[in-house]
């Protein structure tokens, strides 16, 4: 499955899998951007992200992270 910036939920799941002990709210957007672009399934243009997109992914990641901690 090819992932794009618009796939916030799926990207969040992949980030939890790749960084299970990382609290998403402590991650800088520049680091999160690099981690997303490095995912093997990520096939979108790295330059197409913006703050709103990254914030949406971060919030989805935070929800997934909280679920994984329960």
What average pLDDT values come out for the chain (70 residues) when binned by 10 residues? 96 97 97 98 97 98 94
Which tokens hold the place of 21?
A: 């002990």
End-to-end CA distance of the chain: 28
**CA 30/CA 38 separation, integer angstroms:** 12
Pair 32, 57: CB distance under 8 Å? yes
**CA 48/CA 6 separation, integer angstroms:** 10
Does the residue 42 lie in any domain?
Answer: yes
Number of domains in the chain: 1
Does the residue 35 lie in any domain?
Answer: yes
**Residue 58, pLDDT score:** 98
Q: Which residues are 3's β-sheet partners?
A: 42
Does the residue 61 lie in any domain?
Answer: yes
**Residue 15, pLDDT score:** 98
Query: pTM to 2 decimals?
Result: 0.94
Does the residue 27 lie in any domain?
Answer: yes
Q: Domain holding 25: CATH number?
A: 1.10.10.600
Does the residue 2 lie in any domain?
Answer: no
| Residues spanned by the domain of 20 | 8-69
- Give the single-character DSSP code of 42: B
């Amino acid at each position: 499955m090819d992932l794009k910036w618009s796939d916030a939920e799926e990207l969040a799941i992949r980030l939890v899998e790749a960084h299970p002990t990382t609290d998403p709210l402590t991650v800088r957007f520049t680091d999160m951007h690099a981690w997303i672009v490095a995912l093997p399934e990520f096939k979108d243009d790295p330059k197409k992200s913006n703050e709103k997109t990254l914030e949406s992914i971060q919030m989805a990641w935070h929800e997934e992270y909280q679920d994984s901690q329960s």
